[in-house]
Every structure is written in C-alpha cells, then in structure tokens.
Amino acid sequence: MVEFADNHLIPLVDEGLGNSAYLVDLGDGRALAVDASRDLRSLHAAAARRGLRVAYAADTHLHADFLSGAVQLGHDTGATVLASAAGRRRFGHTPLADGDEVDLGGLTLRALATPGHTDEHLSFLLLDGPRELGVFTGGSLIVNSAARTDLQGSDRTEELARAQYRSLRRLTALPDATAVWPTHGAGSFCSAPPGTERTTTIGAQKRNSPLLAAPDEDTFTRRLLASLGTYPAYFDRLAEANRRGPAILNATPPLPELGAGQVAAFLADGGQLVDVRPAADYAAAHIPRSISIPLRDQFATWLGWLLPDDTPIMFVVADGQDLDEIVWQGYKIGYERLTGHLAGGMDAWRTAGFPATTTAFVTADKAPAGPYVDVRQQAEYADGHVPDAVHLELGSLAHNAAEAPRGAIVACGHGERAMTAASVLERAGHTGLTVLSGGPADYAAAHGTTLAREGASR
C-alpha cells in the first residue's frame, strides 16, 4: 500500500479551500482523477510530468465548495466521468450505484454509498484484485472528523448526521491498513479540524478520531452537530451548478485592462470593485466603497462569502500580481462575471483626479484604546479573545454592521480579514476605524491583559 501511494497516487492540495484532489497513475499511461476542481492547472501539470492522460474522472459528491472539473476533463482528455446515479447529473457520465465496479485496467474502482455529507455521496474503494489499496472518502470519513451535514437545510441536518454515522461505520469495517484519501481537509469549511494530516488509514482513524470514539449514534450526532460553524454563502449555490455541469473553457478567460474613467463609470452603474492588493497597500490608499480581499490562498473563500455571483466584478491589483490566479479562483467557485482590472492601479486612479481614502493599519503597540471588534470564526474567538471584544464574524458583517462600535479597532488573527472587515464597515458608513496588524495575543501583550476563553474550541 505504501509503495502504491508513494509511486502512483498524487495528491493535489488546494490550500485555500482546504481540499485535495487526487491523480492516480494507472500504470499504462492513463490516469484516474478524483474530485478535481474546475481549476485544472496543477492536475494537468502533474499529468504532463508523468506523461499521463486522464482517462477517468470520478466525483464523490455534488461539491458544495467548488465547481467540479470532471466535465472539463471529459472535454480536454476524453475522460469518462464517474459519479453517483442518485446525483441526477445533466451531462454525459457513467452513473454508479452502491457496489458498482469499474475496471480501470488492472485496478478496480468500487462505488460505496456513504450518504451524510450529501444524500448522493459515494466513496470509491480502489482495489488491486481482492486487496483494498485505499478509499477515496470525499466528505464522509475525513482525518479525525466527518464533513458537515447541514448543507441541505437545517431541517435535514440531524437526519444526515445519523446517515453519516452509519456511513463511517461502514467505512471502518474495511481493513485497518486501508489508506483513507479524503477530499475535505484542514482549512475546509466542511468541518475538517485544523492542523491535521490530509490522508490517513482506517486503523489510525479507529484509534484517533474523536467522532469514531462516540459510543453510540446519539453521541456521535451531538458531537458532529456541535462542531458545525458558519460556512461561505456560495456553498449553497454550487450543488445545482455541479448537477448542470460547468461550461467548457477553451482557455483562461481574460481580465482586460480598463481605464480609470471606465472604472468610475462601472462603479456608478452598481458594479462591485475588489481590491486584491496586500492589506498594507489598501490601507495606504484605496478607492472608496471598494472591498479589500487580498490575493492569497483564501481569496476564493472570501470572494464567494462576501459578494454576489450575479454582479459584475472589477479588480484593483498591484504590480506583479497574477491575473490568471484571480480568474481561476473566481471561476472555480462559479464567479464568471469578472469584467477587468484598473490599468495603472491606484497611481492611475489618482492621476486621473478621482478620490482615494486611507485606513489606519497599526501594530498592537500603536493601537489606540477603544472598542475592539473581532471578526474571526466562532471557534477561533472561543479559543482566545481580547476581553470585552465585540465578536462579529466577517461572513455576516455586512448584515450586522450597525452592531460595530464607532471608531473601533478591527482585528482578526493577522490583519487580512480585519482589513476586509474594515472595508465592509466603511461601505456601511463607518469612519475612523483602525485595523490591527496582528492578532489578539499581540494586542493582549501590548496592552497588559490576558486573553479570555469560552470553553473548548471545536
């Protein structure tokens, strides 16, 4: 098994979304892709390095956090798409039910119905003859946890959690040495715990998973439901988009340059302007009413959480930032109305005589006394926060902006999310904000206080 994993299994990790796709070298110049996203750049590169053609593209479930690349692989390489019959996908694919097998030419892929994360969820057991090499578990069994069960509505969350319990029990009946290759991992909002490995084995999970240690279904269900935090708004849109199948792309879509006057007219017409420059650059000068979302691994998450997908979006970029990266992070979550970027950046904007504004961005030792707004997730906040902080998660801040004190210090763990939050508050009419460059521990140390905690974090 180890030799197979080392030589034939290529994990492709999306650090921003916290997901893994897999490329399996079938040994004859062909490959199997599992849970590939629409951004296929790393997968195509990995296949090219090995001289592989993707012959099969398997999807474990109708992903709630990225658009599938299976349809595109069918177009690019002629791959046969393998997916759950219960998903009722509206494009050409091989529909599979529980127990169905696909001969990969020496290896066999067996579909296992593992509902819970979604109704139609399949895991895929990879077999070499009778020997279980590993199982692609998607959003069922993940490292030390199981994926969330609330994506199909609060009225079904408990029902699906109980289904998840039964699915995990089915998977843990596999031999202990069986490798576990999940899709969701650390950093995913599908409930993967932070700081964990991305792959594991059945035996390791039986020993180490707190959920699997639950003595019964009721306890398991309570523990899983207690772990569920908020998740990005765009998750709710992508299951149906994946059922339809994303549009085929023949090249990276362009992100054209537009002049300052065109950008000003775009804003006046109701367009959305996203500033992807580093937080410090945004603080020094930015276009009023623009949203700061620094271009980094987590860019797609916050784009999809904070902005609608049906409104045109334009960008302000810094010299040297990768325009293709902006495009692919948008397209992989279904954001296709990307209109262009400001030619010449902020220098061109100011030269044209248009207004710019600033936001204070300071280290903890220079942060003024005043109300402190913490925009991190609930689990992060519970794990340690500044006493008397006002907790307003970034994802819902636009709807709760009135609850933010005037003239607040806005903070997260480092500064990027806090700058995004300040831009959201400024759009809502707040002024005199200060963004903390750092986190709560820095602030507490500089101001002679101790962090408060709320029980155990999830």
**Three-state DSSP class for residue 99:** coil
CA distance 109 to 131: 12
Label residue 130 exposed, middle or buried (CB < 10 Å: 0-12, 13-18, 19+): exposed
Q: What is the pLDDT of residue 263?
A: 97
For residues 338 and 253, the answer to whether their CB atoms sit within 8 Å is: yes
Q: Start-end ranges of CATH 3.40.250.10 in the chain?
A: 257-351, 360-446
| 359-413 pLDDT, tens digit each | 999 999 999 888 999 999 999 999 999 999 999 999 999 999 999 999 999 999 9
CA distance 137 to 289: 43
Return left, alpha or beta for 50; rule: phi > 0 is left, psi -120 to 50 is alpha, else beta.
alpha
Q: What is the pLDDT of residue 455?
A: 61
17's tokens? 């979304």
CA distance 50 to 55: 14
What class, spelled out in words, does domain 257-351 have in CATH? alpha beta
In the numeric block, the tokens 């009778």 are attached to 130
Residues of the chain with confidence (pLDDT) below 50:
1-3, 456-458
Q: What is the pLDDT of residue 1?
A: 37
For residues 292 and 278, the answer to whether their CB atoms sit within 8 Å is: no
Q: Does domain 360-446 have CATH number 3.40.50.2300?
A: no
Q: b/e string for 142-163 if b means 16 or more Cβ within 10 A?
A: bbbbbbbbbbbeeeebeebbbb
Q: Within 10 Å of residue 284's Cβ, how many Cβ atoms? A: 14
What class, spelled out in words, does domain 2-244 have in CATH? alpha beta
46's tokens? 């990995």
Q: Start-end ranges of CATH 3.60.15.10 in the chain?
A: 2-244
Residue 188: name the closest of 16, 406, 377 by CA.
16
User: Is the pTM value of this prediction over 0.85?
Assistant: yes
